[in-house]
A and B are shown apart, each in its own frame.
Chain A
Amino acid sequence: MTYFLRKIGFYVVALWAALTLNFIIPRLLPGNPVDILLAKLQQRGGQVTPATREAYELLLGGDSSEPLIVQYGRYLGNVFRGDLGVSVSYFPAPVTEVIGSSLPWTIALVGIATVLAAVIGVALGAFVGWRPGTWLDSFVPATTLLAAVPYFWLALILVYLFATGMHLFPAQGGYDVVLTPGFNGEFIGSAIEYGILPAATIVLASLGGWLLGMRNMMVSTLSEDYITTAQAKGLPNGKILRNYAARNAVLPSVAGFAISLGFIVSGSVVTEQVFSYPGIGSKLLSAVTNNDYALMQGIFLFITLAVLGANLVVDLLYGLIDPRTRARS
């Protein structure tokens, strides 16, 4: 039980750190985001009341009449109430609404692509690592090329080859714009068609890491005594591979999920930009180019929240599948 409590405690601390970063960063950096934001708001026809100004100052700093600690307390209060301010670029929609409409796209895209990449990578890694030193295994270092390819460049190449070249897939967007979003077959089909290239980008670019990690663990697991025992018992090779070697070798890959996810999320932000995908990554970038600081900060918080949540789930699962971690803490 202590293992789970420790993990949950850690993620609470991480969440607090992210919230605090979000509070401190705009206050530490040069420039005056509040004035820029309010000027933009006026351009869009928004009313700048002292209350709006105060709300933005709470989020981004600039008000020196209150001590920092009071500002911090009120900022945290606002965040927990779900009040992240009003977006300027999507005025008059509040930030949470803009995020709410784009988050499902990213979660579906990144989620599916990550699971696919992990499953394919781990399976290939287990297969290659099963017989170290064969000709297939000697090609493993070549996967470092895949791992070092920038996501967005791979996206550009895929678009060039399959969208503008062969016209197999659409190059931009998340769904056919003539359709209205909703839960019907036509719309979901279109969403899948538009999602294939972005997903392929993420899968291809993140596959190498999984494969390499799994292969290396496989190689070291094979020299364990229980593998020799299993072979001595005369168990079929397929069974040893699946039930004895791969099952133990996959653990570090699961444990390293946190780092992988961080990289995948970072990569997908840029990938979404290439495809003009309606997800949270393109929203983040349009917020940056429009100086929509409130939206920018809100999106960073939500991305962090999603990543922390996914990591927490994986960590809790890890505690379930590997009893040794629970025993240690």
Chain B
Amino acid sequence: MTNIQQDTEPTVGALTGEADSTTSIATRRAGKGGVRRFLPTLTPWLVTGIVLVTGVTLFGLIGPLLVGDPTTIRDAGLQAPNGENLLGTTQTGQDVLAQLATATRGSLQIGLIVGVLATVLSAFFGILGAYLGGIMDEAFSLFSNVFLVIPGLPLVIVISGLVPREARGLWTIAVVLAITSWAGSARVLRAQTMSIRNRDYVSAARVAGEKPWRVIAVEILPNLLPVLASQFVFAVIAAILGEAGLSFLGLGASNSSTLGTMLFYAQNGFALAQGAWWWFVPPGLLIALLGMGLSLVNFSIDEVINPRLANVRAQRRRERRLRRAARSTRTGGAARVATAGHDTKGARR
């Protein structure tokens, strides 16, 4: 399970100042450079994130085609990395690199499946509840809050422990992981939907007699896309980490091979005691790097959708402007700083 904190608790300001944030978004859109403000700035960290994610994804997609059969047993067990086996071999002489490639594919697969399932669940409970309002909203909100405080992995472990091993397929695990991980996103989506629900164009659509599903799909959902994207990325990270933990305990899907399964075999083959670092370091590192890449991408999405972080971007813009100003003139600098500082305030309000 990941511990990247999601902002599921709407701040007091966001709640009391609902109307305020609505107008701020509206003015932001009306301001100059409209579309550009909704695209993440290409910071070095975002580039790192994109490179990491595409790198790991490509490795999982193409890697298995290039390396040999990961299950081939050879005579040379526990070989350190060498020319023939770039990442060494396991206890039974299986090529670690080949295993890594197929395991990455398995982990990505489960991450995507759970990500989609969890996002759909959270969208259902979060958006529908907030849109309908009243008793439904109370019920859905209570339901997701309860699911949020019940610890996920222990529940997953109990469920996997009760399902017989033969019946524990990829989809069983995926559904169980999705059921235990949607609640946080639902809360975020609910808070966002609440603020969109009362905007004029939504009311207009409702008054015009649009059906509820159409109002949600056409008027509300497009505005939630960045939030949904960020929640989806969170769900993928959480799923990959959760599945890895589960497989490491030997409770994962019986018919799939993931990075967690690899670590399970490494641990049970005494890789640690024998100092076979090439066996247990790469799978975990790959999970961490993929998770980091996804969070960095999320970081950038977050800076766009989170009004509280707007002044970080403003600060960055101001610095760029300052640098440019310093380059062009050395005398008018002070005046520029003053106006730039004023702009920062303007961007936030």
Task: Please tell me if the beta carbons of B153 and A164 are within 8 angstroms of each other in the complex.
Answer: no
Residues from chain B with Cβ under 8 Å of A325 in the complex: 12
Interface string of B280-300 (1 = CB under 8 A from A): 110110011111101110010
In chain A between 194 and 209, which residues have their CB closer than 8 angstroms to a CB of chain B?
A: 205-206, 208-209
- B58 proximal to A (CB < 8 A): no
CA distance A153 to B263 in the complex (A): 8
- A157 proximal to B (CB < 8 A): yes
CA distance A260 to B292 in the complex (A): 18
Given contacts A156-B284, A252-B11, contact A148 B152 (CB under 8 A): no
| Max chain A Cβ within 10 angstroms of own Cβ: one of B9, B283, B295 | B9
CA distance A311 to B153 in the complex (A): 17
CB distance from A146 to the nearest CB of B (A): 8
Task: Please tell me if the beta carbons of A270 and B309 are within 8 angstroms of each other in the complex.
Answer: no
Task: Please tell me if the beta carbons of A213 and B5 are within 8 angstroms of each other in the complex.
Answer: yes
Which among A22-30, A41-49, A177-185, A235-243 touches the partner chain? Answer: A22-30
CB distance from B297 to the nearest CB of A (A): 10
Task: Please tell me if the beta carbons of B3 and A300 are within 8 angstroms of each other in the complex.
Answer: no
Residues from chain B with Cβ under 8 Å of A234 in the complex: none
Task: Please tell me if the beta carbons of A148 and B295 are within 8 angstroms of each other in the complex.
Answer: yes
Residues from chain A with Cβ under 8 Å of B163 in the complex: 29-31
Residues from chain B with Cβ under 8 Å of A152 in the complex: 244-245, 248, 263
- A85 proximal to B (CB < 8 A): no
Task: Please tell me if the beta carbons of A205 and B3 are within 8 angstroms of each other in the complex.
Answer: yes
Interface string of B259-303 (1 = CB under 8 A from A): 000010001000011010100110110011111101110010000
CA distance A270 to B275 in the complex (A): 21
Task: Please tell me if the beta carbons of B159 and A29 are within 8 angstroms of each other in the complex.
Answer: yes
Query: What is the number of contacts between chain A and chain B, taking CB atoms within 8 Å?
Result: 235
Cβ 8 A contact of A144, one of B162, B291, B319: B291
Cβ 8 A contact of A328, one of B3, B15, B283: B15
CA distance A152 to B161 in the complex (A): 19
Residues from chain B with Cβ under 8 Å of A141 in the complex: 45, 48, 295-296, 299
Given contacts A26-B162, A259-B8, contact A209 B245 (CB under 8 A): no
- A159 proximal to B (CB < 8 A): yes
- A250 proximal to B (CB < 8 A): no
Chain A: interface size category:
35 or more
CB distance from A300 to the nearest CB of B (A): 5
Given contacts A153-B284, A157-B281, A285-B249, contact A266 B184 (CB under 8 A): no
Given contacts A147-B2, A216-B308, A311-B149, contact A25 B263 (CB under 8 A): no
Residues from chain B with Cβ under 8 Å of A107 in the complex: none
- A279 proximal to B (CB < 8 A): no
Given contacts A141-B299, A152-B245, contact A208 B142 (CB under 8 A): no
Task: Please tell me if the beta carbons of A217 and B149 are within 8 angstroms of each other in the complex.
Answer: no
Task: Please tell me if the beta carbons of A149 and B161 are within 8 angstroms of each other in the complex.
Answer: no
Minimum CB distance partner of A273 in chain B: B249
Residues from chain B with Cβ under 8 Å of A156 in the complex: 263, 267, 272, 280, 284
List residues of chain B with CB under 8 Å of any chain A CB: 1-9, 11-12, 15-16, 45, 48, 142, 145-146, 148-155, 157-164, 167, 184, 237, 241-242, 244-245, 248-251, 263, 267, 272-273, 275, 277, 280-281, 283-284, 287-292, 294-296, 299, 306, 308-309, 311-312, 315-316, 319, 344-345, 348
